[in-house]
Structure 1
Amino acid sequence: MTNDSAERVFDGVPGAMDPHLALDALARSQARYRALFEAIDDGFCIIEFIDGPHGPASDYVHVEANSGYERHTGIPDIVGKRLRELAPSEAEAWIELYGGVLDSGRPIRFEREFVTAGRHIEVAAARVEPASLRQVSVLFRDISARKAGEAALRASEALARQNVERVQLALAAGAIIGTWFWDIPSDRFTVDAAFAEAFGLDPALGREGLSLAQVVETVHPDDREGLGAAIEAAIARGGAYAHQYRTRRADGRYYWLEANGRVDHAPDGTPLSFPGVLIDIEERRAGEAERARVTDMLRELNDTLEQRVAAQTAELMLAEEALRQSQKMEAVGQLTGGLAHDFNNLLAGISGSLDMIQARLRQGRIGELDRYVIAAQGAAKRAAALTHRLLAFSRRQTLDPKPTDVNRLVADMEDLIRRTVGPGITLETVAKGGLWSTLVDPNQLENALLNLCINARDAMPDGGRITIETGNRWLDDRAGRERDLPPGQYVAMCVSDTGTGMTPDVIEKAFDPFFTTKPIGLGTGLGLSMIYGFARQSGGQVRIYSEVGQGSMICLYLPRHHGDAPVEMVAEPAPPRLSSRGRTVLVVDDEPLVRMLVVDAVEDLGLTAIEAGDGPEALKVLRSPVPIDLLITDVGLPNGMNGRQVADAARELRGGLKIMFVTGYAENAVLSHGHLDPGMQVVTKPFDMTILSGRIQAMIGD
């Protein structure tokens, strides 16, 4: 045996192959395979089906590809990439197509346009044996030139058919002017007698041969350039030719004609001959002009019709706007009527209590004062609650959003809800595991939950079941449109009952302020409107699902919060009462009565109070050398500066100054959409004086 032999006696075994020689042979084989693989001008790849999250064989990976693949498809660096990461929207179709080849073993062939590469490709796919490899080979062949040729041929054939049809019609109508034959290599242009007579030429000269320039002299000057370009294009491409232009006939007038012909080429592409026929199209052009005139007239009529329709549409829009305004005024009337009724009751209680206090003071019956003071305070608190609900409906209440665990909130509220709905109602909670957190005012969410449960209880006078359910919701475009929300992730809290249910017209009005189906005196009609306003102000939505006799379900959808998870809050002990020595508070409010009450509260704490009625007056104090430890300012101030602007100026003049905002409603733009800087707090009017005093003392002591 020689060293060149691949087989030799190895380790005493005749015929065994030397591992080094075997590896060398394998390397040469792979090199030949790779060279052949890359030498293929066509694109080629091998795909292998793999299992994925969508099931067995739900994706495939490209395990081989030659350089022609990118050239033909426009897709670079394909090896190692999965279909679903390359074309997720088309993945199912391709997997089904090539999966059929893998399962059946039958090859397929089809055509496809690859827009990225600007090519038309013929694709051939076949299974790689054995089938256990789960592989399919795919060959891509560029057929763009063939497709372009086929398209050009079809266009030429269509033009030729049109020319033949026109010539046949011209013959039938007697509109043939004459024929010509142009020998392109010799540039000899011969015409028949009819052609020569039509243009006032000598028939004998026409038979002997004219120059193309002599013929072009009869063409209208405005049409010569277009005719020359059409002739050059026909000679360059070959095949059928048709062109319309104006020529001067024997009578000296210009007439419209159409030249129809055909350019014949030699096998090497050299143009040889250009025969053709001239057709009189003067009448046809006149008919086309008449049709164009009629079309313009119809277009003008159509434009007039559009103007009339636009005018009627404008009238309808005005009528609709008037109807909307009427409905708006009706809603305002309902709102103001409900407000007047409720506030008159509350004001009667407050005013009557004050009158009785005054009478008892004159009578010296001081021991009975507490009774009327408590009554007046109660009426004032109910008025504050009513105002709070109205602000919630209008989405202008002051919110204190925090990352909130809705499951924990429901669990903390469960005992209170059970006591509120009573023993005749069964309460169930279904808490979703792994519930996302949401950025929301937890106190307002508790109020909303309690209100929904009370409504559910009232809908079941004979008892029933209330179910509180939480869950994560991922809304796509369609689901978002159905709920008037942008698509995304939401936390849902739903309260359902087995009560009487609602009719569609009741559902439509359920969120209107002061609308209620409860008997007079048992409902204000502000509960659901408050919940609706709170949900919308929190970036969410509330929806009612109900059928008469089947119960109702009301769901709050609140945006998912991706920040830190909420933590249990430990109540801090009340701050100790501090020494008032040397501490000064600047109070800014344009309402003298409110300013007086705040100043009294400040001075009762042993602090020094300085008053200002607006922003400019407050700035004078802030620019003075008087020490200020706390600024208390109303948000809505007159004379060109609101409370936020006063606070910003105060921070510029006295860095780190503590600030308490007092507001009757939340002007989000003023309060930076609820995001306050450190050392700032908000107190909502009307406020309990004890709570206000505690807040002032806490801020002074921070």
Structure 2
Amino acid sequence: MSAFVGGGGKMGAQVRSFDWAATPLGPAVDWSPALRITVDQMLASQFPACLFWGPDLIAIYNDGYHLILGTKGDALGRPLRETWREVWPQLEPIATRALAGESTFIEDYMITIDRNGRMEDAYFTFNYGPVFDERGDVVGMLDTVIETTAKVQADAQLRALNLKRTAERDVLANIVESTSAFIQVLDMDYRFLAINRANVDEYERIYGRRPAVGDSLIDMLDGVPEHRESALAVWRRALGGESFSAQMEFGDPAIARRHYELRAEALRDPEGRQIGAFLTSFDITDRLRGQRALVQMQDELRQAQKMEAVGQLTGGIAHDFNNLLAAISGSVQLMQMRLKRGDVQDLDRYLELAKTSVRRAASLTQRLLAFSRRQTLDSRPTDVNRLVAGMADLIARTVGPAIDIRVAPQSDLWVTRIDPSQLENALLNLCINARDAMPDGGSLTLATCNETLPAHTAADHELHAGDHVCLSVSDTGTGMPPEVVQRVFDPFYTTKPIGQGTGLGLSMVYGFVRQSGGEIRVDSTVGRGTTMRLYLPRHDGNAEAEAAKHVAATPFGGAGETVLLIEDESALRQVIRDVLADAGYAVLCAEDGPAGLRILQATGRVDLLITDVGLPGGMNGRQVADAGRAIRPELKVLFITGYAESTAVRNALIEEGMEVMTKPFELDAMSVKVQAMLDSGRR
């Protein structure tokens, strides 16, 4: 098996083909598309590179890395601890950090290499970074290498120069000419004491001038004022006695600017007096490009992993929806077949099957919208103490008798504005998670309190400073280690066995709370339990007065009122029109915003506008409602929507006389809503 891999490698003439399925690692490596991206880009790199699988196993390396291996050319598939046994104590902590997701940078490390048949000491800079699999877990380590021999030799020569503290120009010139780095030495009057040929050539490329020993840097830069200040700023620091390193960019932007690493040191005579300064420059443009290429490679790998996750998500959704659609379609077809035969038996059963499938489909979309924070929220002033008290019996039945439930409400709790149904779902979800953390029983505490957060504390919680209502759920269960706490709200992350958790529950709670303007915090200790705290913004309003507006009505039907329905989906428009007509309302229909607005601009009677939020024709439902209210200020508006788009109609944008219903909805519930809205207008 060759140690080299083809597929785009540029680092040598001998690029060999590679059989992905026949690696010495066998089934240990899943050569997925995302990991192949990493390998292909590694092979195409102009720098030596090696991929390690697991803690210390050499998987693949490109042609350039063969220079590093030398006589260890049979390293493919062998443990790192065996290949480099002599330096394994230094490499082991590096591999450990890489598998923990951290990168390690080792600069100017010496290795004896075979350079065209001659053994010599060379210096290299190693960059070890983590490699991720399709789930985002670290499975290996990527090592990229850059040779820095010339830089190290230049540094050594300059250190020797400064130790000798000599200003003899001939000696200085001989030393600086012996390196390929850019070397220049100035006296205190900005005149060149020494400059090597490489730097003279670089000055000509950048400034169009070729300086010589004795020339004045200030005079030379007079002809290039666009470069003068940046160059002199470096020398002012150096001639001021400062030792420093910096990265800067020089050159004509219209041609090519290069990046340089500068190192400045004071030049002193034998008595220690400063007589000038020397500057060492290294062109690091290619190194930076290599680092950017590595970052880009890692970004592309993460993107590939994201696309893989999206593919899994869409595949799962398609599977679930196809099952639900099959149940609905089958029920409808069976009813149709029996009606043709005049057989009405079991029709109710098939109807119930179809309705159950619709409810499950609606629940699935609602979970996805909650996770993405795009669900439509029916936010209203809410007394959280009353909500928790109303949920206590349901929670007790859900968690079972082995868990003792305690409720600790604050008596003067503030009101918050939130969707109470969604808050109930979130609370139940948190209690179920707490139950699962106490398989042998325990204690579950539901507590509320008022908290005023100062600015610095609010910033830590990603909240606005001020008053908040806190709802906490505390258990005495197994608790979570810090690494689990950090990921507990990640979508599809679960510590439960396969088949016992989707990993969406807590991410849905987090999405709902954040969409409501709040935050959720976790405090957990292994073996002692977990506390989940929901911080909800305080609302200056009366929960009881608001609740009176939402008292359910009985659908007795209309009294001849006129309803304008705007819905672009023709089947849904027909169903709603028939339901409203059967209930005794006069129904006007439009399929887009402009058509609906023309009806509102006419002189006929319109008591209620029912409109979808997302509409074709250049006007969305909210825009139609605003235009209609400009014409008819008392117009009642019922929005029907599948999700809350950027034209949101809830929270701060909802107005008096407006309500929202989320698709799909029960037709009876819509009839109740329509009657309640029209009845409120008659009172």
Class of the TM-score when normalised by the shorter of the 2 chains: 0.5 to 0.7
- Using the TM superposition, name which of 611-620 and 624-633 deviates more: 624-633
Aligned residue type for 1:450: L
Q: Check conservation: 2:555, 2:672, Cα contact below 8 A.
A: no
The corresponding residue for 2:474 is 496
Q: Give 2:553's match in structure 1, choosing from 558, 574, 583.
A: 574
The corresponding residue for 1:75 is none
The answer to whether residue 627 in structure 2 is matched with residue 649 in structure 1 is yes
Q: Give 1:409's match in structure 2, choosing from 365, 387, 399.
A: 387
The answer to whether residue 360 in structure 2 is matched with residue 382 in structure 1 is yes
Q: Check conservation: 1:492, 1:558, Cα contact below 8 A.
A: yes
The corresponding residue for 2:11 is none
The corresponding residue for 2:603 is 625
The answer to whether residue 426 in structure 2 is matched with residue 448 in structure 1 is yes
Aligned residue type for 2:609: L
Q: Give 1:426's match in structure 2, choosing from 391, 404, 413.
A: 404
Q: Check conservation: 1:668, 1:674, Cα contact below 8 A.
A: no
Q: Distance in 1 between matches of 2:332 and 2:636?
A: 36
Q: Give 2:324's match in structure 1, choosing from 328, 339, 346.
A: 346
The corresponding residue for 1:166 is none
1:698: Cα distance to partner? 2.3
The answer to whether residue 541 in structure 2 is matched with residue 564 in structure 1 is yes
Equivalent pairs counted in the alignment come to 419
1:294: Cα distance to partner? 9.8
TM normalised by structure 2 equals 0.55
The answer to whether residue 522 in structure 2 is matched with residue 544 in structure 1 is yes
Q: Check conservation: 1:354, 1:376, Cα contact below 8 A.
A: yes
The answer to whether residue 323 in structure 2 is matched with residue 368 in structure 1 is no
Structure having greater relative contact order (Cα 8 Å, sep ≥ 6)? 2
1:476: Cα distance to partner? 4.5
CA 1:320/1:383 → structure 2, altered by over 3 Å: closer, same or farther? same
1:386: Cα distance to partner? 1.7
Aligned residue type for 1:408: R
The corresponding residue for 1:305 is 260
Matched position secondary structure for 1:366: coil
Deviations 1:505-548 (A, max 9, x none): 54344323344444555444332122111110111112233344
Q: Distance in 1 between matches of 2:388 and 2:536?
A: 15
Aligned residue type for 1:528: L
1:388: Cα distance to partner? 1.4
Deviations 1:455-508 (A, max 9, x none): 212232332221112233344455445433344443221212223333445434
The corresponding residue for 1:530 is 508
Q: Distance in 2 between matches of 1:356 and 1:503?
A: 53
The corresponding residue for 2:570 is 592
Gaps in structure 2 of 5+ consecutive residues: 1-188, 190-212, 221-230, 239-244, 250-258, 262-283
1:374: Cα distance to partner? 0.6
Matched position secondary structure for 2:568: coil
1:572: Cα distance to partner? 4.1
Matched position secondary structure for 2:645: coil
Q: Check conservation: 1:439, 1:559, Cα contact below 8 A.
A: yes
Aligned residue type for 1:577: F
Q: Distance in 2 between matches of 1:633 and 1:286?
A: 79
Deviations 1:96-133 (A, max 9, x none): xxxxxxxxxxxxxxxxxxxxxxxxxxxxxxxxxxxxxx
Matched position secondary structure for 2:396: helix
CA 1:301/1:477 → structure 2, altered by over 3 Å: closer, same or farther? closer
Q: Distance in 2 between matches of 1:384 and 1:395?
A: 16
Q: Give 2:489's match in structure 1, choosing from 506, 511, 514.
A: 511
Q: Distance in 2 between matches of 1:636 and 1:328?
A: 28
Q: Check conservation: 1:588, 1:612, Cα contact below 8 A.
A: yes
- Using the TM superposition, name which of 692-701 and 313-322 deviates more: 313-322
Q: Distance in 1 between matches of 2:247 and 2:505?
A: 57
Matched position secondary structure for 2:346: helix
1:382: Cα distance to partner? 1.6
Q: Give 1:336's match in structure 2, choosing from 298, 306, 314.
A: 314
Q: Check conservation: 1:400, 1:674, Cα contact below 8 A.
A: no
Q: Check conservation: 2:524, 2:530, Cα contact below 8 A.
A: yes
1:688: Cα distance to partner? 0.3
CA 1:297/1:315 → structure 2, altered by over 3 Å: closer, same or farther? farther
Matched position secondary structure for 1:529: helix
The corresponding residue for 1:31 is none
CA 1:324/1:287 → structure 2, altered by over 3 Å: closer, same or farther? closer
1:415: Cα distance to partner? 1.9
The corresponding residue for 2:640 is 662
Matched position secondary structure for 1:632: strand
Q: Give 2:613's match in structure 1, choosing from 626, 629, 635.
A: 635
CA 1:320/1:474 → structure 2, altered by over 3 Å: closer, same or farther? farther
Q: Check conservation: 1:492, 1:556, Cα contact below 8 A.
A: yes
Matched position secondary structure for 2:359: helix
The corresponding residue for 1:688 is 666
Gaps in structure 1 of 5+ consecutive residues: 1-243, 245-282
Deviations 1:387-432 (A, max 9, x none): 1122111111222323333223222221221122221211112223
1:663: Cα distance to partner? 0.5
The answer to whether residue 451 in structure 2 is matched with residue 473 in structure 1 is yes
Matched position secondary structure for 1:455: helix
Q: Distance in 2 between matches of 1:508 and 1:545?
A: 11
Q: Distance in 2 between matches of 1:326 and 1:480?
A: 36
Q: Check conservation: 2:247, 2:260, Cα contact below 8 A.
A: yes
CA 1:497/1:623 → structure 2, altered by over 3 Å: closer, same or farther? same
Aligned residue type for 1:379: S
The corresponding residue for 2:594 is 616
The corresponding residue for 2:377 is 399
Q: Distance in 2 between matches of 1:336 and 1:509?
A: 22
The corresponding residue for 2:676 is 698
1:648: Cα distance to partner? 1.5
Deviations 1:562-614 (A, max 9, x none): x1353374574736735533x32211111111111111111111222222110
Q: Distance in 1 between matches of 2:234 and 2:648?
A: 64
Q: Distance in 1 between matches of 2:508 and 2:620?
A: 27
1:356: Cα distance to partner? 2.6
Q: Check conservation: 2:608, 2:636, Cα contact below 8 A.
A: yes
Q: Distance in 1 between matches of 2:234 and 2:580?
A: 88
Q: Distance in 2 between matches of 1:630 and 1:294?
A: 74
Q: Check conservation: 1:471, 1:493, Cα contact below 8 A.
A: yes
Q: Distance in 2 between matches of 1:672 and 1:578?
A: 27
Kindly report the root-mean-square deviation, in angstroms, between the aligned alpha carbons of the 2 structures: 3.5
Matched position secondary structure for 1:370: helix
1:16-415 alignment runs, 5 A limit: 295=235, 302-303=248-249, 304-305=259-260, 308=285, 311=289, 314-415=292-393
CA 1:521/1:587 → structure 2, altered by over 3 Å: closer, same or farther? farther
Q: Distance in 2 between matches of 1:573 and 1:347?
A: 31
Q: Check conservation: 1:360, 1:368, Cα contact below 8 A.
A: no
Q: Distance in 1 between matches of 2:218 and 2:562?
A: 94
1:659: Cα distance to partner? 1.5
TM normalised by structure 1 equals 0.54
The corresponding residue for 1:604 is 582
1:618: Cα distance to partner? 1.4
1:440: Cα distance to partner? 1.8
